[in-house]
Amino acid sequence: MSVKSIQKKAFYFTMMICVMVVGLLVYHQWLTDHILDRIEHERSTVNYFQMADTDPISKRIHRISDHTPNHFVKAAERSTSSVVYIIAYEKVEGSFFSEGFTREKGSGVIISEDGYIVTNYHVVKDADFIEITLEDKREFVAEVIGTDESTDLALLKIEAKQLPSLVFANSDSLQVGEWILAIGNPFGLKSTVTAGIVSAKARSIDALSKNDIESFIQTDAVINPGSSGGALVNTDGLLMGIFTAIISSNGNYEGLSFAIPSNLARKVIIDLKEFGSVQRGKLGISVTDVNADIAKKLKLNQITGVHVSTVNLNSAAAEGGLKKNDVIIAIDGIDIKNSSSFYEVINQYRPGDKLTLQFIRKNQISEQSITLRNHLNTTDYISVRSDKELRELGIEIRDLNSIEKARINSEGIMIISISKGSVIANTNMEPGFIVEYFNDQKVNTTQEFIKLLKETTGSIKLMGFYERYPGRYPYTFER
């Protein structure tokens, strides 16, 4: 064997030994660090309690130390005490149910320290008696202040003070993908908190009836029967919406849940508290979503906004200069992407409110200021009521507007519809009857009429007149 060959083998052997030594040193250092880290972890997270020598199971118990909670915990703590459990009882004649009642269960959200609670209309719509249970297990009987079937909202009141309440936040600020919490009472399991994200906004799902207002916040937070009327809150514990619906093939959660945006809910609730019904401003137009065909026909650069298909004669829109085939893209600086977002924004305003509409006409962007009107095409606040007590009689009523009051030189309320075969129909009263007196007591507003109706049983006499007939007419019925 040559000297050169021996030197070459010695070199490779030496290199192999060096690699092995380096490897052993690295492993030793890693093992030492790992053991030290483990010891430090045990010291920081575990306390040891020595057990008696006679304990056959263990010599010590591991107790995990406190850890810093995440932001879901704080949001839940701020919110759960403001969500209540609702049982709405309805009397059933000849029922096989115990005590002759059916029960509708749901949730509600305390929105003021003095006991105002918002929930869904469908939870309390037929209730004769409503029971509220707070998170601290106190129970109250609730009064219905007002309901709005179009948005599936209702306002209740309990006699209590210093209640924990949630604060309405700006639902327009919610972003798709943002974390949210759902708080309710699914299947009667009180104060249940689930988490999810905002999946979509301004969503219409045809869950309510025709002409109802749907512009839901869609989430994947779990809600089930009993969660209706519960709270959608953000990670700061602020109220962003009221849960109202799920899409399901079997009635239970399947991944989609929907909430009424807080901006819309807040306006409805304020109106119900102040007037007993919702004051809706109207433009007097019909709109449809802009689709590819409309965008091509009108030569639009993008497929967004709502297309004005009709403009009612002498309406607010007509007098404000809006025309058929205009495409509305913004209202008061808020982007309008579809008809759901359009109606959500419009229904946050009252008759008499002035809005600035941004629209496209012949490829030009224009702005126009328009004053909203009510369904009678005036700027008055008109209360239209169809409360449970009125439905039992078979009538809908409304306040008189300023023009009618001036024309007839009188105060009163108008009967606007009468159900066939109802209590009132049997008196031969006709729609258009203007009620001046309830059992000889003067009534000027729908709120006064409903208050008297709630307080009265037995014989009731309504005295009033028709504009188209001379004289005054009495109508008597039993309640």
122: annotated active-site residue: yes
Query: Does 152 participate in catalysis according to the annotation?
Result: yes
Q: Of residues 325 and 28, which shows the higher confidence score?
A: 325
Predicted pLDDT of residue 181: 96
Tell me what pLDDT residue 14 has: 63
Q: Which of 228, 262, 315, 340 is catalytic?
A: 228
Tokens 């919490």 map to which residue? 181
Q: Which of 73, 189, 78 is nearest to 133 (CA)?
A: 189
Lowest pLDDT segment from 115-124, 163-172, 185-194, 355-364: 185-194
Rg (CA), the chain: 33
Q: What is the pLDDT of residues 24-39, one digit of tens each?
A: 555 555 555 555 455 4
Whole-number Å distance between alpha carbons of 47 and 394: 71
For residue 54, pLDDT over 80 is answered with no
Q: What value does the mean pLDDT take over residues 206-232?
A: 81
Q: Is the dihedral of CA 295, 297, 300, 305 positive or negative?
A: negative
With cut-offs at 50, 70 and 90, classify the pLDDT of residue 204: confident
Q: Considering only 139-153, 163-177, 234-248, 450-464, which range has the smallest mean pLDDT?
A: 234-248
- Residue 426 banded pLDDT, cuts 50, 70, 90: very high
Percent of the chain whose pLDDT exceeds 70: 81
How far, in Å, CA of 289 to CA of 300, rounded? 13
Strand partners, 327: 307, 360
CA distance 186 to 183: 9
Q: Which of 148, 152, 271, 380 is catalytic?
A: 152
Predicted local distance difference test score (pLDDT) of residue 455: 93
CB 291 within 8 A of CB 300: no
**pTM metric for this prediction:** 0.80
Report the C-alpha gap between 415 and 434 in whole angstroms.
6
Task: Give the mean model confidence (pLDDT) for residues 319-323.
Answer: 95
- CA–CA distance, 189 with 227 (Å, rounded to integer): 9
193, pLDDT greater than 80: yes
pLDDT at 244 > cutoff 70: yes
What does the alpha-carbon distance between residue 471 and residue 467 come to, in Å, rounded to a whole number? Answer: 9
pLDDT at 332 > cutoff 60: yes
Which residues, 6 or more positions from 275, have their beta carbon under 8 angstroms from its beta carbon? 146, 381, 383, 447
Position 91 scores a pLDDT of 86
Fold match flag (285-371 vs 384-478) = yes
Q: Class for domain 68-278, per CATH?
A: mainly beta
Q: Within its chain, how far is the Cα of 361 from the centroid?
A: 35
- The pLDDT, as a whole number, for residue 93 is 74
Distant-in-sequence, close-in-space partners of 228: CB < 8 Å, separation ≥ 6: 106, 107, 119, 120, 122, 123, 184, 243, 244, 245
Of 79, 122, 215, 277, which residue is the catalytic one?
122
Query: What is the pLDDT of the chain when averaged over all its residues?
Result: 86
pLDDT digits (tens, 9 = 90+) for 96-107: 555 578 899 999
What distance in Å separates the CA atoms of residue 171 and residue 174, rounded to the nearest whole number? 5
pLDDT over threshold 70, residue 7: no
Q: What is the 3-state secondary structure (H, E, C) of 351-364?
A: CCCEEEEEEEECCE
CATH of 285-371, one of 3.40.920.10, 3.20.190.10, 3.40.50.300, 2.30.42.10: 2.30.42.10
pLDDT tens digits, 277-288: 999 999 999 999
First to last CA, the chain: 124
Break the chain into its structural domains and give their ranges.
3-64, 68-278, 285-371, 384-478
The mean pLDDT of 399-407, rounded to a whole number, is 92
DSSP 8-state class, residue 167:
P
The domain covering 384-478 belongs, at the CATH homologous superfamily level, to: PDZ domain (2.30.42.10)
Q: pLDDT category, 191, cuts 50, 70, 90?
A: confident
Is residue 28 annotated as part of the catalytic site, yes or no? no
